[in-house]
């Protein structure tokens, strides 16, 4: 077992899976704990709840609550809304006679009823007094009594108040409204609680308020997506809290006074109404088709409803007609009358069926995310890919089943979407990564050599992999060595990470130029790069392309140097050595590992010339055999004849400049310098100094001229033999 665990931890693929799982767990857990981005997290949480409702479907209510609705039959009988309040007076009387236990109005009676008869009768009664007609005469007294009786009958508000008082079990609705002072665009609980907003309370008119058993606010606050899922059971008041209509109705039905326990939870005779940290309760919706018994107000008043459907019930009175408004989306219906939401809240409270989140919601979320990330990780480590995929599918389905069981059996709204998303992301990431590994293995040859060879070379190797065997051949090639100067100073100023990024950027630019000119990248040597031209594809212009690459490398570095100086980076230089001639090219190394590279005297010479570029203070140094292959395409300045370390024969070296037509005649200093070099070689050192000084006047601070002036001054002070060959020998690299 120990060996299996050891093998598992040595498996790079599985370790990569661990890393992927860790990143996914971190991202999803961070989102769950912080709730950021808030809008997305809230939407995912609420949509997950909607999914659980839809999976469960509609269910039956307890039967304690019925709805008396304003609908088509009532509108046909009593006309368009609003109805005369005499209709509700008759309704209350009928409900009381039928034994309704609690009558709840999801309606507002915040203004007196408009009545054209009452003002006329009041004015007539007042005029009767003013004319002195209210006396003991029999016919006047009879008229006055009938007038008073007619006035009493016409006061619908007063009659409704008498019916409410007589019934003794009526809960009237009230509503909060705000005068918007803040930036809150919607009427939400947050806006209502905002201290910057002025909160107003629309209450029933005084006669109804005084005759009602209690009041409850009817406000419903949708979630951010406009759907109703929660309700606020209580609002803080200056002296005492305001309770929602559903709480007031349930309290009357249970014959209890709402009380708050030490945790601020509303308690009604053993029925607790737990709320979340924002003060909301989570409703367990029943749906529309199989839920509450719906009664027509017209049928109730006309006596067509058996008392058994009303006796000992909570009767909620409100609108069922879509034309009146008060229609809301819920998890089970896109159009649900607001009266259903209040009825749902009442029934949930009476049955202790309010939904609830886990006690430690965030940690339950993190634990679920961990399980849904860790289990696929273990499954993929123990099973083959096909079986692992099937097992992960079973895992996802099983998690949904467990969450749904908690929802339906224990009214527990366990987190669904985020853990499920974490599991899906983990499984999908594993699959994509594993498929990518196989594809990368198939593309290994092309991808690996693309870092070193031009596309043409790679095409040859792909078509003929046998060329990747040990061995080589001698060919006429051109090799270049490029080295970044002042690298030590650069490494002292930058951190290791900054130095690595800078070096990668610089070498990357140089490499691109090499490959663009059909060169083959040989290797990187710290801060240096080596490349060659003319192999594996034969190219008679290898010398021209090699020199052109060297020039473009220096030119590109000049462009980048301006950006680097602005960024506060050191002003670095580059030195390039180019050499052409016969050399061996091929796969060099061992049978287990080899490189496609070049070796030979001319390769070593290119390295030495790169070093001399720093001595002579120029960017590019080439030997005469390379210059002879350029056919005059570039301007070259002869620098010296030297003997480098490790090479017995001398070599004439030149500074590779560019095409003179591109420089507008700026290479005029070449002639005076080469005249000075000729004087130097015939030991006319004083004349040579004058010519080198002339060169400096044409090209200020010309390093080669300064070098030869210094050398001539030394030779003047220490005369040489007449047979002096003017070859300068370098004993160091």
Q: Where are the domains of the chain?
A: 2-36+359-442, 65-113+169-351, 116-154, 452-634, 664-733
pLDDT single digits (tens) 266-298: 999 888 898 888 889 999 999 888 789 999 999
Q: Which two tokens stand for residue 246?
A: 């559903």
Pairing of strands 230-231, 214-217: unpaired
Angle at 655 between CA 649 and CA 658, to 5 degrees: 140
pLDDT band at 443 (very low <50, low <70, confident <90, very high): low
Contacts of 680 (CB under 8 A, 6+ apart): 688, 708, 711, 712, 726
pLDDT single digits (tens) 110-169: 998 876 555 655 555 565 555 555 556 655 565 555 555 554 555 788 889 999 999 999
Q: Name the residue among 652, 714, 659 with its Cα closest to residue 678.
A: 652
Residue 330, Cβ density class (10 Å: 0-12 exposed, 13-18 middle, ≥19 buried)? buried
pLDDT single digits (tens) 579-634: 999 999 887 776 666 677 899 999 999 999 999 999 999 999 999 999 999 998 99
Q: Quote the CA–CA distance of 457 and 444 in Å, as a whole number.
A: 15
Check whether 375 has a pLDDT greater than 60.
yes
Q: Which two tokens stand for residue 136?
A: 């003991």
Question: Can you give the pLDDT at residue 384?
Answer: 75
**What is the mean predicted confidence (pLDDT) over 431-457?**
64
pLDDT band at 177 (very low <50, low <70, confident <90, very high): confident
Q: Quote the CA–CA distance of 408 and 613 in Å, as a whole number.
A: 82
How many CA atoms, within 13 angstroms, populate the side-chain half-sphere of residue 518?
17
**What is the mean predicted confidence (pLDDT) over 457-479?**
69
- DSSP string for 249-261: HHHHHTT---EE-
- Between the alpha carbon of residue 392 and those of residues 333, 342, 420, the distances in Å are 33, 42, 11
Q: Quote the CA–CA distance of 218 and 201 in Å, as a whole number.
A: 11
Task: Give the DSSP H/E element, type plus range, for residue 153.
Answer: helix 138-154
Check whether 492 has a pLDDT greater than 80.
no
Q: Quote the CA–CA distance of 674 and 680 in Å, as a whole number.
A: 9
Question: Can you give the pLDDT at residue 278?
Answer: 85
Residue 339, Cβ density class (10 Å: 0-12 exposed, 13-18 middle, ≥19 buried)? buried
DSSP three-state, residue 359 = coil
Letter string b/e over residues 438-452, b meaning 16 or more CB atoms within 10 A of that residue's CB: eeeeeeeeeeebeeb
Of 354 and 177, the structure prediction assigns the larger pLDDT to: 354
Check whether 561 has a pLDDT greater than 90.
no
Topology (CATH) of 452-634: Alpha-Beta Plaits (3.30.70)
Q: Quote the CA–CA distance of 315 and 65 in Å, as a whole number.
A: 6
Q: Quote the CA–CA distance of 423 and 415 in Å, as a whole number.
A: 13
pLDDT band at 696 (very low <50, low <70, confident <90, very high): very high
Contacts of 239 (CB under 8 A, 6+ apart): none
Q: Quote the CA–CA distance of 288 and 346 in Å, as a whole number.
A: 16
End-to-end CA distance of the chain: 58
Letter string b/e over residues 631-657, b meaning 16 or more CB atoms within 10 A of that residue's CB: eeebbbbbbbbbbbeeeeebbebbbbb
- For the four alpha carbons of 625, 628, 632 and 636, in that order, the dihedral sign comes to positive
Region of 528 (left: φ > 0; alpha: ψ -120 to 50; beta: rest) is beta
Question: Can you give the pLDDT at residue 37?
Answer: 79
CB 54 within 8 A of CB 331: yes
CB 173 within 8 A of CB 202: no
Length of the chain as a residue count: 733
Check whether 442 has a pLDDT greater than 50.
no
**CA-atom Rg of the chain in angstroms:** 48
Backbone angles phi, psi at 114, to 5 degrees: -75, 120
Contacts of 88 (CB under 8 A, 6+ apart): 105, 160, 163, 317
DSSP three-state, residue 519 = coil
- DSSP string for 178-240: EE--SS--S--HHHHH-TTSEEEEE---HHHHHHSSEEEE------TTS---EE--EE--SSS
Residue in the block written with tokens 């759907």: 227
pLDDT single digits (tens) 52-67: 999 999 999 999 999 9
Question: Can you give the pLDDT at residue 183?
Answer: 45
pLDDT single digits (tens) 653-686: 999 998 754 444 578 899 999 999 999 999 999 9
Ranges of H-type helices in 411-443: 417-442
Please give the mean pLDDT across all residues of the chain: 85
Task: Give the DSSP H/E element, type plus range, for residue 728.
Answer: strand 728-729
CB 265 within 8 A of CB 273: yes
Tell whether omega for the bond before 622 is within 30 degrees of 0, i.e. cis.
no
Q: Name the residue among 645, 650, 646, 625 with its Cα closest to residue 636.
A: 625
Question: Can you give the pLDDT at residue 527?
Answer: 86
Q: Quote the CA–CA distance of 26 and 566 in Å, as a whole number.
A: 38
Contacts of 280 (CB under 8 A, 6+ apart): 189, 221, 230, 231, 232
pLDDT single digits (tens) 221-247: 898 888 999 999 999 888 889 999 999
Share of the chain above pLDDT 90, in %: 53
DSSP state of 538: -
Check whether 217 has a pLDDT greater than 90.
yes
Question: Can you give the pLDDT at residue 122?
Answer: 58
Question: Can you give the pLDDT at residue 485?
Answer: 84
- Give 268's strand partners: 271
Pairing of strands 314-319, 620-623: unpaired
Q: Quote the CA–CA distance of 99 and 582 in Å, as a whole number.
A: 115
Question: Can you give the pLDDT at residue 133?
Answer: 55
Backbone angles phi, psi at 293, to 5 degrees: -70, 120
DSSP three-state, residue 659 = coil
Q: Quote the CA–CA distance of 685 and 679 in Å, as a whole number.
A: 7
Q: Which two tokens stand for residue 694?
A: 């002339």
Letter string b/e over residues 269-294, b meaning 16 or more CB atoms within 10 A of that residue's CB: eebebbbeeeebbbbbbbbbeebbbb
Q: Name the residue among 599, 639, 645, 643 with its Cα closest to residue 619.
A: 639
Ranges of H-type helices in 255-337: 297-301
How many CA atoms, within 13 angstroms, populate the side-chain half-sphere of residue 725?
10
Q: Name the residue among 255, 258, 233 with its Cα closest to residue 244.
A: 233
How many CA atoms, within 13 angstroms, populate the side-chain half-sphere of residue 328?
24
- DSSP string for 31-42: HHHH--SHHHHH
- Between the alpha carbon of residue 240 and those of residues 234, 236, 244, 589, the distances in Å are 10, 7, 13, 90
Contacts of 632 (CB under 8 A, 6+ apart): none
């Amino acid at each position: 077992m120990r060996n299996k665990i050891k093998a598992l931890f040595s498996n790079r693929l599985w370790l990569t899976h661990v890393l992927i799982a860790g990143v996914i767990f971190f991202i999803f857990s961070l989102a769950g704990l912080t709730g950021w981005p808030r809008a997305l997290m809230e939407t995912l949480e609420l949509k997950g709840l909607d999914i659980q409702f839809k999976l469960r479907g509609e269910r039956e209510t307890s039967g304690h609550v019925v709805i008396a609705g304003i609908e088509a039959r009532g509108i046909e009988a009593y006309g368009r809304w609003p109805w005369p309040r005499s209709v509700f007076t008759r309704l209350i009387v009928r409900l009381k006679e039928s034994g309704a236990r609690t009558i709840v109005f999801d309606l507002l009676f915040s203004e007196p009823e408009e009545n054209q008869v009452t003002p006329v009768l009041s004015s007539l009664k007042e005029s009767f007094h003013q004319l002195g007609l209210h006396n003991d005469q029999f016919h006047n007294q009879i008229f006055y009594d009938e007038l008073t009786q007619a006035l009493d009958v016409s006061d619908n508000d007063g009659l409704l108040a008498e019916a409410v008082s007589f019934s003794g079990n009526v809960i009237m609705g009230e509503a909060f409204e705000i005068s918007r002072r803040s930036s809150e665009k919607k009427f939400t609980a947050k806006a209502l609680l905002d201290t910057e907003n002025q909160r107003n309370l629309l209450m029933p008119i005084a006669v109804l308020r005084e005759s009602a058993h209690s009041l409850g606010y009817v406000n419903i606050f949708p979630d951010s997506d406009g759907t109703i899922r929660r309700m606020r059971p209580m609002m803080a008041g200056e002296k005492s809290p305001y309770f929602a209509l559903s709480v007031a109705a349930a309290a009357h039905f249970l014959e209890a006074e709402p009380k708050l326990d030490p945790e601020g939870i509303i308690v009604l005779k053993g029925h607790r109404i737990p709320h979340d940290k924002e003060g909301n309760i989570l409703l367990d919706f029943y749906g529309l088709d199989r839920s509450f018994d719906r009664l027509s107000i017209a049928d109730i008043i006309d006596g067509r409803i058996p008392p058994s459907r009303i006796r000992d019930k909570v009767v909620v009175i409100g609108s069922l007609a879509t034309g009146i408004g008060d229609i809301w989306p819920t998890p089970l219906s896109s159009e649900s009358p607001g009266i259903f939401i209040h009825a749902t809240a009442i029934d949930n409270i009476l049955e202790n069926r309010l939904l609830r989140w886990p006690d430690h919601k965030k940690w339950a979320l993190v634990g679920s995310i961990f399980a849904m990330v860790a289990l696929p990780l273990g499954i993929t480590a123990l099973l083959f890919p096909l079986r692992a995929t099937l097992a992960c599918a079973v895992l996802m389905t099983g998690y949904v089943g467990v969450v749904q069981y908690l929802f339906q059996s224990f009214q527990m709204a366990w987190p669904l979407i985020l853990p499920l998303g974490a599991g899906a992301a983990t499984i999908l990431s594993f699959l994509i990564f594993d498929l990518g590994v196989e594809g990368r293995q198939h593309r290994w040859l092309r991808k690996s050599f693309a870092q070193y060879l031009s596309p043409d070379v790679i095409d040859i190797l792909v078509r003929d992999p046998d060329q990747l065997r040990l061995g080589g051949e001698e060919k006429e090639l051109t090799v270049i060595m490029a080295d970044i100067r002042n690298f030590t100073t650069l490494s002292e100023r930058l951190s290791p990470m900054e130095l690595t990024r800078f070096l990668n950027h610089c070498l990357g630019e140089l490499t691109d130029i090499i490959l663009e000119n059909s060169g083959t990248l040989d290797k990187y040597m710290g801060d240096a790069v080596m490349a060659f031209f003319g192999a594996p594809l034969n190219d008679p212009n290898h010398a021209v392309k090699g020199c052109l690459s060297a020039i473009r490398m220096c030119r590109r570095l000049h462009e980048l140097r301006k950006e680097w100086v602005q960024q506060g980076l050191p002003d670095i230089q580059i030195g390039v050595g180019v050499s052409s001639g016969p050399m061996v090219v091929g796969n060099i190394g061992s049978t287990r590992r080899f490189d496609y590279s070049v070796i030979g005297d001319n390769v070593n010479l290119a390295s030495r010339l790169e070093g001399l570029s720093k001595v002579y203070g120029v960017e590019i140094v080439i030997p005469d055999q390379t210059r002879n292959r350029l056919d005059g395409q570039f301007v070259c300045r002869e620098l010296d004849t030297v003997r480098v370390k490790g090479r017995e024969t001398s070599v004439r070296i030149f500074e590779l400049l560019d095409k003179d037509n591109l420089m507008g005649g700026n290479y005029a200093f070449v002639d005076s310098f080469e005249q000075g070099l000729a004087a130097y070689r015939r030991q006319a050192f004083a004349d040579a100094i004058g010519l080198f000084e002339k060169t400096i006047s044409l090209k200020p601070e010309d390093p080669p001229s300064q070098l030869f002036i210094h050398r001539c001054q030394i030779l003047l002070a220490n005369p040489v033999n007449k047979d002096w060959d003017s070859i300068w020998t370098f004993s160091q690299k």
